[in-house]
């Protein structure tokens, strides 16, 4: 087909100051809000009210016991045994477990179980299929700094790419604005479940992310008005955060006494001020190693942290700097050569980042790649091992589960198979690091959202109906 790669390869930068762990399950409070508690009523102002809160509700599902499977927890060695899911949680993992009343018992012989996969770099829903101008909602490419836009306000829950990703074992994604802008806007962390609204999918308690982008994309998009150089890019970030510092100071001062009129509300600066407060995690599209070093200095200048660089094609050149900064690296397994700043991509990138002690993540940034995140991790793991860089299977699994969960600030809820964590679970037909294996069942917060053997458990979006090929997750 002639779908060109969309021009939104981007990365995120993260803030280090994490919001405290999210409440497990249930509906949490929306993160990233400056007021102490959402208020309602005629005497309140917009900024005091809940800002587009999650309406997510866990769906009921009978208890599920998967027996005699190879369980890859991403939090310890692989083990042969059983795993019990109940009321949306992982209840137990052990050699043998008793099935509670009413449980579905699944023979996992020869099969593998992993945590639900997490893609911290997706544009599903904002660059939806079928890829027309009408749904090209990922880049507000009208100004180099658009911190005021929120990806969730573009997100289309009927994107027919969503069922394909679910069939690949993905349970949670970060939806990012594109990379046209220096500062592209807020991300949304959503559970991949059938839903009518993005609010129903928003991961309760997940902090917002902020998309920033280095390098070629902003300077290309804005070459006629500026920035048109990397130094112009840097000046643009700095100007924006200088304004944000002033805005934060004004508001923080006013909030202490609440005397007189509050400062004027500015959506752009409100988001950036929350970055400075550590409430919003920075996700920074950045390819070149030297440029990441510049961004780390920028973060130091303004007192925030970059949670994860994204794409990080030259991460292997500065992996020690990333480790020291505590900044994760979200990478493709082996993409390279599609533009100058991707020229030095190598398949051992993730392994070398891991070896240096930095947190490696395999991301997709692609509606095709998101269907095979486990395979991209496998490719990167074996490429590293062949070059003599030790990467364990557990580490490689963490690249697509626990590590992205950390990058999104939801690692206390999901990302590993441990009792008490959300029942985000994939049952694979075989070793998830083999090219021949497929996700057979996907549980999202305990809800069976995909079953390869049950057409009734294969989501068809509205767009699928009456015009798309039968069978999902083909």
- Residues forming contacts to other proteins in the complex (CB under 8 A) are 1-7, 9, 129-132, 160-161, 164, 216-217, 220, 316-320, 332-340, 343-348, 352, 356, 366-369, 371-372, 375, 378-379, 381-382, 386-387, 389, 433-438, 463, 467-469, 471, 474
- As a whole number of angstroms, the distance between CA 384 and CA 152 comes to 36
- As a whole number of angstroms, the distance between CA 172 and CA 189 comes to 7
Instruction: Note whether 221 and 180 are within 8 A (CB).
Output: yes
Minimum CB–partner distance for residue 164 and other proteins (Å): 6
Minimum CB–partner distance for residue 371 and other proteins (Å): 8
CB neighbours of 36 closer than 8 A, spacing ≥ 6?
none
Reduce the DSSP state of residue 385 to 3 states and report it. helix
Minimum CB–partner distance for residue 364 and other proteins (Å): 10
How many C-beta neighbours within 10 Å does residue 27 have? Answer: 15
- As a whole number of angstroms, the distance between CA 323 and CA 340 comes to 25
Largest CA distance in the chain: 68
Cβ proximity to other proteins: between 122 and 366 the closer is 366
Cβ proximity to other proteins: between 251 and 399 the closer is 399
Minimum CB–partner distance for residue 366 and other proteins (Å): 7
Cβ proximity to other proteins: between 111 and 279 the closer is 111
- Nearest Cα residue to 178 out of 285, 253, 21, 31: 285
Cβ proximity to other proteins: between 129 and 176 the closer is 129
Cβ proximity to other proteins: between 116 and 218 the closer is 218
Minimum CB–partner distance for residue 2 and other proteins (Å): 5
Cβ proximity to other proteins: between 191 and 311 the closer is 311
Cβ proximity to other proteins: between 266 and 334 the closer is 334
- As a whole number of angstroms, the distance between CA 464 and CA 268 comes to 36
Alpha carbons within 13 A on the beta-carbon side of 14: 27
> Both ends of the chain: CA-CA distance in Å?
17
Residue position matching structure tokens 């090219």: 435
Minimum CB–partner distance for residue 155 and other proteins (Å): 17
Minimum CB–partner distance for residue 388 and other proteins (Å): 8
At CA 417, angle to CA 414 and CA 423, rounded to 5? Answer: 60
Residues in a beta bridge with 249? none
The two tokens of residue 287 are 């390819």
């Amino acid at each position: 087909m002639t779908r060109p790669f969309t021009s939104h390869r981007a990365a995120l930068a993260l803030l280090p100051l994490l919001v405290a762990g999210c409440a497990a399950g249930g509906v949490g409070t929306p993160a990233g809000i400056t007021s102490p508690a959402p208020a309602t009523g005629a005497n309140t102002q917009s900024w005091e009210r809940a800002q587009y809160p999650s309406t997510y509700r866990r769906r009921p599902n009978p208890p599920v016991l998967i027996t005699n499977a190879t369980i890859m927890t991403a939090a310890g060695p692989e083990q042969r045994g059983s795993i019990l899911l109940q009321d949306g949680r992982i209840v137990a993992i052990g050699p043998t477990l008793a099935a509670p009343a009413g449980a579905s018992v699944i023979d996992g012989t020869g099969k593998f179980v992993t945590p639900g996969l997490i893609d911290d770099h997706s544009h599903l829903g904002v660059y939806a299929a079928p890829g027309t101008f009408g749904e090209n909602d990922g880049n507000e490419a009208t100004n180099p700094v658009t911190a005021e836009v929120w990806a969730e306000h573009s997100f289309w829950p009927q994107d027919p790419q969503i069922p394909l990703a679910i069939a690949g074992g993905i349970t949670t994604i970060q939806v990012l604005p594109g990379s046209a802008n220096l500062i592209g806007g807020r991300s949304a962390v959503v559970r991949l479940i059938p839903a009518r609204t993005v609010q129903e999918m928003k991961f309760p308690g997940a902090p917002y992310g902020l998309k920033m982008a280095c390098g070629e994309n902003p300077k290309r998009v804005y070459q006629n008005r500026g920035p048109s150089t990397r130094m112009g890019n840097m000046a643009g970030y700095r100007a924006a955060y200088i304004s944000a510092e002033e805005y934060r100071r004004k508001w923080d001062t006013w909030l202490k006494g609440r005397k007189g009129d509050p400062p004027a509300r500015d959506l752009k600066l409100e988001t950036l001020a929350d970055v400075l407060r550590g409430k919003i995690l920075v996700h920074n599209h950045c390819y070149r190693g030297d440029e990441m070093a510049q961004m780390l200095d920028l973060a130091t200048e303004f007192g925030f942290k970059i949670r994860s660089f994204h794409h990080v094609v030259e991460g292997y050149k500065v992996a020690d700097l990333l480790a020291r900064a505590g900044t994760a690296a979200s990478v493709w397994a082996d993409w390279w050569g599609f533009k100058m700043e991707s020229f030095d991509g190598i398949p051992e990138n993730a392994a070398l980042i891991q070896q240096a002690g930095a947190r490696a993540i395999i991301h997709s940034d692609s509606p095709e790649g998101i269907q095979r995140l486990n395979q991209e991790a496998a490719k990167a793991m074996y490429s590293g091992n062949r070059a003599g860089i030790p990467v364990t299977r557990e580490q490689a699994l963490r690249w697509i589960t626990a590590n992205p969960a950390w990058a999104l600030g939801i690692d206390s809820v999901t990302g590993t198979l441990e009792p008490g964590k959300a029942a985000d679970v994939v049952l694979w037909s075989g070793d998830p690091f083999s090219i021949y294996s497929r996700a057979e069942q996907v549980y999202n917060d305990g809800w069976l959202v995909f079953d390869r053997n049950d057409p009734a458990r294969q989501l068809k979006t509205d767009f699928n109906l009456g015009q798309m090929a039968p069978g999902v997750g083909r």
